[in-house]
Amino acid sequence: MATSANGYLERDVLARAGPLICATTLALTAAFLGIVGIVSGETGGLVGRLPLYVLAGSVGFVGALLAVEHSEYYGRPALATASGVGIVGFVMIGLGTEGVVYGLTNPDAVVASHLFVYLLSAAIVASGVGYWTVRNWRDVTTAVNTSGL
């Protein structure tokens, strides 16, 4: 548990989880901004950058496959995990990069409309839910398996 006996949050938990949550929040904010940019049609050159996103996803797949195959998992679970990492890597790198491109090419649309603040808020909530899900994975899978959600 992240709290001590007196109920206060422990510093070592914050030191480990804080940077990860911040990095995840920034990545999600860029990805959300990328969705806005793609939907609005304001990300010129997307087709030219797409092969690089595919390359990044495939490198993530092979790296995850090598890492997982040499752990306690092997066979189908390793392949499924590596596939998930590859797909998530492709999507996050692609959308994140497009978000940065959109933000740099259309700063007025992002800053003046306060769009960035809304997307940052959504990313913070998503990071918190993701952190909670990872910390309580056993409870989540039990609830899903028993239709308790």
CA torsion sign for 40, 42, 48, 49 is: negative
Please tell me the pTM assigned to this model: 0.79
Residue pLDDT, tens place only, 126-136:
998 988 888 88
List the one residue out of 94, 93, 116, 95 whose CA is nearest residue 106.
116
Distance between CA atoms of residues 13 and 40, nearest Å: 40
Q: What is the dihedral of CA 21, 26, 29, 31, to 10 degrees?
A: -100
> Residue 75 gets which letter from DSSP?
S
Pseudo-torsion of CA 138, 141, 146, 149, nearest 10°? Answer: 110
Convert the pLDDT of each residue in 17-34 to its tens digit.
788 888 999 999 999 999
